[in-house]
Chains A and B, each alone.
Chain A
Amino acid sequence: MTVRVQTQDFDFSGEIARLRLGNPAIGAVVSFLGAVRDVNDGAAVSEMELEHYPGMTEKALEDIVSEARRRWDVIDVLVIHRVGPLKPLDQIVLVAVASAHRGEAFLACEFIIDYLKMEAPFWKKEQTAEGARWVDARVTDDQALNKWKLSAKEQT
């Protein structure tokens, strides 16, 4: 398992290749790539700044990955999240899950990004024509988490 918080960009295909490197047990890799959009809540976004809580961020991401590994039989997980100044089109986040078969990798990948959005201490501040504004948390992110809590209950 690898968790990285960094200001620099990352090479998507290079990261996926490294995750699979020399491991013929891996039959599936599912990835989520998050990117900066140029519009949010009806306003044009020219730039954003991602703040985080050093130390807690890494710990929170490691806990989320550990929980995913407890729930599903996956071989390896990579999470990269960028911080600092970002522009539209930039890559923000990569979650990649390697497993023997696709089903577990799809579920674990979606679980990790849903929890990351609710529990990892990152905050976005956008620059718009009207000035800078902090992005509000979305109710739909809360709903995404409820889905996982329900499915955990169904399993017990």
Chain B
Amino acid sequence: MKIQIRYFASVREALGVSQESVSLPAQATTVGAVRAFLIERGGVWSTALGSQRALRMAYNQIMAGPDTPVGEAGEVAFFPPVTGG
């Protein structure tokens, strides 16, 4: 399954990437599994997306939890808690 992943704010800066297209392994079917798959890359990926960091996730531009399912051509996003207003 191929999806689009986007990164924002401090997460984007830490990773040095704002978006990428990723082919997921068969078992990665949720937003939480996508996060785990990216953490496996190690280095900055495990520190920027690791569980010790306050991280928010979205699927198809709606706030999502780890159990939110992902589908073909979906868009997953990772970012820190928001600070607008």
Point out residues on A near B: beta carbons under 8 Å.
34, 50-53, 55-56, 59-60, 81, 92-93, 113, 116-125, 134-138
Contact = CB atoms under 8 A, between A and B. Distances in A.
Interface of B: 6, 8-10, 54, 58, 61-63, 77, 79-85
Contacts of A53: 6, 8, 58, 61, 77, 79
Contacts of B81: 136-137
Contact of A123 (B6, B8, B62, B63): B8
B22 to A, nearest CB: 18
A50 B84 contact: yes
Given A51-B8, A51-B9, A125-B9, A56 B83 contact: no
18 contacts: A53-B58, A55-B61, A56-B58, A56-B62, A59-B62, A81-B85, A93-B84, A93-B85, A113-B85, A121-B58, A123-B9, A123-B82, A123-B84, A136-B83, A137-B54, A137-B81, A137-B82, A137-B83
